[in-house]
Structures are given as C-alpha cells and as structure tokens.
Amino acid sequence: MTPPTMLEADFAVARRSFDVAAQLSLAPGERLSLFGPSGAGKTTCLEAIAGTAPLRTGQVHLDGLLVNTAKAKRPRRGALVEQPAELRHRGVAVIRQPTTLFPHLSVRKNVTYGLGARAHSRGGALEELLERVGLGDLAWAMPDALSGGQRQRACLARAIARPFRALLLDEPFSAVDATSRAMLRTIAVEAIRREEAVAVLVTHDLGEAQAFGHRIGIMENGRILQLGGTEQLVRQPATLRVAELCGNRSFVPHHSGRLWALHPDRFMVGAWPDKGLVLSGRILSVRPYGPRFACEMQPFSHQVERSGGDGHQGGELCLGSGIDPGQVVVNLHVDSPPRVGDLWEVTSLSPPLVSRVSLAGDEEG
Amino acid sequence: MSQLSRRAVGRIPAAAAIVAAALVWVILLGPLAVLLTQVSPHSIRQSLDQPGALAPLWTSLEASSVALGCMVVLGTPLAFLLARGRLRAARVVEAGIVLPLLMPPLVIGLLLIFLIGQAGPVGRVVSGVDPNVFGVNTFFALVVAEFYESAPFYIITAAAALTTVDARLEQDAQLLGDRPLSAFRKVTLPLAAPGLATGLAIAWARAMGAFGAVLIVAYNPTGLPLQIDESFIANGLNAALPFALLLIVAALPLPLIALLWSTRALGRRRSEVAVGAGS
C-alpha cells in the first residue's frame, strides 16, 4: 500500500528567464528541504505551493484541497473551472524571507493574530511558546525593535501557534545563531509532527537542509536536479553538478571511471569547536612551494566523528566504491614545514589550506 | 588657508540653506500673516453678525463632508486596486484620475453642465429624477463639483500610501485566517492610515476651497468661496476678508490634525523601537 499523500504538487511557474517547475508528493508528517544556490527558484516553489504565485501549468493539492491551479487562457464558455480554496481555508503556515511580521502589532499580537477568540483560552500555552522560541521578555516589543534573528523566532511562533496542514519555511533561521537554530528547528519539527502536517524548507545551507528534511530536493535554474534522502544526495550525487552544488570543491578521477568528490568542510574530522573541524594524519613529504611549503599528509581515517554541536556536519570522505581509504593523500600548503613522519592536525579554519587531494601514487599535476 | 577660516567657509552652504528655508517659510506663510493683521475683530463681528452670514459656511461644510464621504467609500477601493496593480491598463485609469487635476476647474464646471444639467443626455436622465434635487444649482451639484476638484488628490495620495504596504502582509493575514476584507481592515488600513489621512486632509482643503467648477454649476446654494467672491465684488476687500478667515479656519483644522496625527503615529512607532531596544 502506498502511503497517503498530503501534498500533491505538479506545477510550472513562469519567471523572466526560466520556468520553475516541480513535481512533489509528500506524506503526512513528511519534511522536505529544498536546497540550492540563490535564484534557483526555491522561494517561487514555496509560493506556488502556498498558492500565492500564479501557475503557468499544473495544480497543487493540499490535504485534498485545491490550493493553486493554472488559469486557463481561454476558459470554455460554461465550463466549470475549479477555483482554488480561499487563502484562509488552506491551512498553510508560512515563514517568509525577509520576515513579514505585522509592523503595527507587538510580538504577542503578531503571534496571536491567527488565533482569534482562541487567544485567551490558550494564554498559558502562548506564554510557553514565546518562552520556548526565546521571546519571553520581548512579548510586547514592536517588530521594528527586534533583531533579524528575533523576528525569525517570532515568525516561527506565529506560524505554528494555530493548526496548519503545511508549514512552508523560507530561510527561516538564517539570522539565528547556530545553537538556537537547532532549538528552533526542533520546535518546528515537533509542531509538524503534532499536526501531522507536511513541511517544505528552503535553504542554501546544506547542513540545514539535511538536519531538517526527510528528503532533500536540490534545485538549480528552476528544476529539481535530484530528490532523495538526506544521505543519498551527499553520498551518491546523481550528477557532477549536484555534487558541485553540494559544496564539493575538487574532484579526483579514479581508475574505476568514477570521481572522488571532496568537500572542504566535510572531510575535515573532529569536534573541537575552538579549532573547527580537524583532520589528523601523518605527514608523508614536504617540499618548498613559493614562500610556503607543500606537504602530503595521509589521514588516519576517512571516518568522520559526528560533532556534538549542530553547526558542522560530520560524515566521511566521500569515496567511490573500491577505494581504499589508506590510499588517500591530502596536499597541504603551510607556512612552517613539518617533518616527514610527524603527526599533524589540519583544521578547517582555513579551508584553502587543503589544495587538492589525490590518491597515493597518482601523478601530480 | 587657516583651519578656522576653512571651517567658516564650510559653513556657508549650511547657512545659505537655513536662510533659504526661512525665506520659503516666510513667503508661504506671508499671506496668512497679512490676513491676520488686516482683519480686526470688529470687522469680523460686523460681517458675521448679519442674518444668514454663516449659512455659506454650513453649506460648504455639509457639501465637503458628503463629497469626502463619497470619496472614501468610492475612491479607497480604486486606490487599492491601483496600488496592487490589479487593474488592467492601470496607466490609463491613473491618467483618467489625474485628468480632472490637470483641467482648469472652470472648464470642469462647463463640462459638468452636460453631466448634471439638462443640456446633455446624461444630465437629462439625472435631473429627470427630480430637477430640484439633482439638477444644476442644487446641493447635489455643489457636492459633484467639489468631488471633481478634490477626489483626484485623495485617490492619488491614497494609492501611494497603500503601495507602501507590503502585499505579502495581506496574504499572511489571510493565510492566518482573515477574510480579505478583514485583512484589509486589520493590516492594510492601519499601516496606510497616516498616508490616507494626509490624502483626506488635502482633499478636504480642496473641497472646501473649490471655486471654479462650483461657480458654473452650483452658484446656489452659496458656499463659502462664492460668498467671498460675492462680498469682494459687492463690498470690497474689507467685506471679503472675514469670510476668507472663516474659510481658512474651517478648512485647516482637519489637514492640520491629520498631519500632526500621522507624524505622531510614525513617531510613536519609532519611540516604541527605542523602548524595545532598551529593554
């Protein structure tokens, strides 16, 4: 039996340079992250799903309700055209970018805006919600007085304060510090679970996308290039472009015909926040390189420890099948030369440090 | 050049700007000052104590109020549609609204005869209902003439004010459960209120002072501007000035209140910002 679908979307939105098209189907409780560079059409996707952007073709259904449909160019006379549900009946909660708090209402009134008469009966729950998103002291502040991060907190509280069928988040935590971001994400995820709603999050931070979604769609130029599980996208990018968009900077050809994709942050190991992510290994060779020195280092392991904090992602060196991690060599450029045989730790505080990774025995060049 | 003199030279533009600003202010307020010096309490009493002397004032106030009411009810939706770009050929509509502003009021008056007088087909239908109520030289004609002279000011200002309200806020309000109309009332209106008030204030001043079109289509019942004109022609400057003062006193309070309120509304939001930032 196929799981029931909550959100069924298949649409194209006309934009100046290209159409934004997507085909999505989400089950109740499912969270999808849309990830991609700026201008990829992610926000347009959200607007199409919310039904606030006119479609060129296609339809969007949420919980059996038509929320968006393409307008027929010339509707046949007498033909009944199904109209999308009114905005207020859609059960769509949005967090936009930039944030859209009502500037003439206090934080508290913003959050209770959608509650109507229920606001009073939920007084206690409301205080708790404000407290949880970290706005307990700012309940009566006006939006103009808030920082960007505080505004995003208030928007989250407003969005989840009333029942919803879909939560659409556009860069919802971009101005929030890393620690609070994890907390806010948890609050959002709990609300989605509680409502058995669907959620679509738009971000250009892959870590954010992975942490939030069950699945990730990677977008560019209005298309979803790949839609898959959070690990699948990173470990098995379908195309070179997807691998690039995931942040892999260098690609090392392997004799199997596959490529190694190497990510400047991702393959760095460790969990010491003061140092950043750390890769440790043994120095194989050192030679002068301009004013600096070029060394080769063999990492101890390609395994990456999951760091406790949420800011950085763990993972592992992303290897094609049949590659022995022992063969990996990291090329470094450093100011003061280590000795061959030294144990070294390379931090990712300066990503350009690692210029290239090659297989042991590969020709340099 | 020494440090000191260079600083002095640097101050010349600032000083010039202040002088210019003061000059403009004096020039703009000059006539009002003259009016206040020229009108003595005695002459005011003499002019206004005559029986029926205040009737034109009431006529003007009533007609302007009705014109303003129509403007708000009919003009606000139009301004909103203009602001949101929901109209096909919005430029054409806008041009149509501005046209009465660009035409000399006297000409508008002449053309209005066709609209409400018996000369044109429209007028025949309109005044056919009851020529004593809807014809030329009626209270109705006065309202129409004032409407033509003032409504464009309100609609253009209101459209500008409504444009400043982010349409996404209206969408959000509706997504949070509001009907479109209550989203407009609870979000759009409060945010655009200072601008709308300014538009209303300008329109009020124009309506109270409407003369050109009124002269042609609504000589009776006599409003304040026509009363001034009549007194001036019949009895000279000194007889007209008290009515002029009356007109200013009647036409100014609403604009001034609106202006003070809108600056205060903005100031309040700002001071709340300061309070919020401090806490």
Question: Which of A172, A206, A241 is at the close of a domain?
Answer: A241
Q: Which residues contact A257 (CB under 8 A, 6 or more apart)?
A: none
Q: Return left, alpha or beta for A297; rule: phi > 0 is left, psi -120 to 50 is alpha, else beta.
A: beta
CATH topology of domain B49-268: MetI-like fold (1.10.3720)
Predicted pLDDT of residue A82: 82
For residue A213, the distance in angstroms to the closest alpha carbon of chain B comes to 24
Please tell me whether residue B45 adopts helix, strand or coil conformation.
helix
Interchain contact, A87 vs B166, CB within 8 Å: no
Interchain contact, A88 vs B174, CB within 8 Å: yes
A1 located within any domain: no
Average pLDDT over residues B100-123: 85
Asked whether the bond before A299 is cis by omega within 30 degrees of 0, the reply is no
A70 located within any domain: yes
The answer to whether the beta carbons of residues A203 and A45 sit under 8 Å apart is no
Q: What is the DSSP letter of B40?
A: -
**Chain B partners within 8 Å of A141 (Cβ):** 272, 276, 279
Residues from A in contact with B at Cβ < 8 Å: 50, 52, 86-88, 90, 92-94, 96, 100, 102-104, 113-114, 116, 137-138, 141-142, 144-146, 158, 162
Q: Which residues contact A33 (CB under 8 A, 6 or more apart)?
A: A200, A201, A202, A203, A208, A209, A210, A212, A213, A215, A216, A217, A230
Q: Which residues contact A209 (CB under 8 A, 6 or more apart)?
A: A33, A34, A35, A201, A203, A216, A230
Portion of chain B with pLDDT greater than 70, in percent:
92
A102 located within any domain: yes
Given a cut of 70, whether residue B11 has pLDDT beyond it is yes
Query: What is the residue whose two structure tokens read 């307020």?
Result: B29
* Highest mean pLDDT pick, A257-271, B193-207, B245-259: B193-207
pLDDT digits over A13-62, tens only? 998 889 999 999 999 999 999 999 998 999 999 999 999 999 999 999 99
Given a cut of 90, whether residue B90 has pLDDT beyond it is no
The answer to whether the beta carbons of residues A330 and A299 sit under 8 Å apart is yes
**Tokens found for residue B41:** 């309490």
- The CA distance from B94 to B219, in Å, is 30
- The CA distance from A330 to A298, in Å, is 6
Predicted pLDDT of residue A242: 85
Residue A294 and residue A191 share a domain: no
The amino acid at residue A74 is R
Given a cut of 50, whether residue A98 has pLDDT beyond it is yes
Residue A348 and residue A217 share a domain: no
Beta strands at A278-289 and A343-347: parallel, antiparallel or unpaired: antiparallel
Beta strands at A7-14 and A19-26: parallel, antiparallel or unpaired: antiparallel
Chosen for mutation from A142, A146, A155 (greatest number of chain B CBs closer than 10 Å) is A142
**Chain B partners within 8 Å of A162 (Cβ):** 176-177
Name the residue range of residue A43's domain: 7-241
The partner residue sitting opposite B190, judged by closest CB among A52, A104, A142, is: A104
Residue A202 and residue A55 share a domain: yes
Nearest CA in chain A to B170: A102
Question: Which of A241, A260, A280 is at the close of a domain?
Answer: A241
A365 located within any domain: no
pLDDT digits over B44-89, tens only? 888 778 888 889 999 999 999 999 999 999 999 999 999 988 778 8
A178 located within any domain: yes
Residue B201's H or E segment, with its range, is: helix B189-209
Residue A267 and residue A139 share a domain: no
Average pLDDT over residues A85-113: 93
- The ipTM assigned to this model is 0.77
Interchain contact, B168 vs A116, CB within 8 Å: no
Average pLDDT, chain A: 78
Predicted pLDDT of residue B137: 87
- The CA distance from A149 to A130, in Å, is 14
b (16+ CB within 10 A) / e for A251-275? ebebeeeebbbbbbbbbbbbbeeee
The partner residue sitting opposite B177, judged by closest CB among A88, A137, A142, is: A88
Question: Which of A189, A217, A241 is at the close of a domain?
Answer: A241
Number of domains in chain A: 2
Residue A273 and residue A187 share a domain: no
Interchain contact, A88 vs B176, CB within 8 Å: yes
- The CA distance from A196 to A3, in Å, is 13
Residue A134 and residue A31 share a domain: yes
Tell me which of B134 and A227 has the higher pLDDT. Answer: A227
Tell me which of A215 and A234 has the higher pLDDT. Answer: A215
pLDDT digits over A263-300, tens only? 655 543 333 333 434 456 677 777 777 777 777 767 66
CATH code for the domain of A56: 3.40.50.300
CA A125 from chain centre, in angstroms, equals 29
pLDDT digits over B16-32, tens only? 999 999 999 888 888 88
Residue A348 and residue A302 share a domain: yes
Residue A174 and residue A91 share a domain: yes
Average pLDDT, chain B: 85
Other CB atoms within a 10 A radius of the CB of residue B272 amount to: 17
**Tokens found for residue A288:** 């002068």
Residue A122 and residue A187 share a domain: yes
Residue A56 and residue A163 share a domain: yes
- The CA distance from A35 to A205, in Å, is 7
Predicted pLDDT of residue A250: 63
- The CA distance from B127 to A150, in Å, is 62
Chosen for mutation from A68, A86, A88, A89 (greatest number of chain B CBs closer than 10 Å) is A88
CA distances to B109, B118, B203, B222, B255 from B139, in Å: 15, 16, 19, 9, 24
Interchain contact, B169 vs A138, CB within 8 Å: no
The partner residue sitting opposite B272, judged by closest CB among A90, A94, A142, is: A142
Average pLDDT over residues A66-88: 81
